[in-house]
Structure 1
């Protein structure tokens, strides 16, 4: 009987310790790497804390449904970093990660020297993401 009282809590403890931890990356833009296990770089290019401004844009599709997109610019002190990162990624993809979920992975065609970006996805609530980012930007 005493063994049960010791064994059960010990097993629960071991399960919690051995359970893999969730990655919990900061929300932002990341390089997409060639590694098989995890294709998102460990460090972000820029995070949402580096966003200067964002806007919610929309267009109506042929079925009358609105499609949403977030457009924005990184802060002035991050423009060069963004330009270098996009130049490094020409012909490759970068990814926007929000709450540990990859939202979009656009293919980069040229160096983006203006600090501009766009976030869009078909099966994701872009409006909700927009408002969450706005709240974080205004709470700085």
Structure 2
């Protein structure tokens, strides 16, 4: 099965896998901790910098979180089929919940991308 995640989804899932937090500093995106980054990841972040800054600065909206979560869950349900949820995907869903409680729009996006990537990995894509 081919990887169907968008380039932005792959960026967010890589941020999730590496345990990186993004911050806006002086109008630019900074990765924390910086030693978990790679030149390739840095280039991906720079390419989507304007969008990432918008996600970090847009006010949190619970309805938006519900819509985004529903979209990802329905998209990944077909990939998962009747197989059990992989442990990595279950952890990512816990992280979606945690980010929602914290009111982190980007945290929700990153955890959802981690969830989708874990399901795709388990499906052998």
TM > 0.5: no
**Which of these two proteins has the greater Rg computed from alpha carbons?**
1
TM-score of the pair, normalised by structure 1: 0.26
Structure with greater proportional strand content? 1
- Higher fraction of helix: 2
TM-score, normalised to structure 2, is 0.28
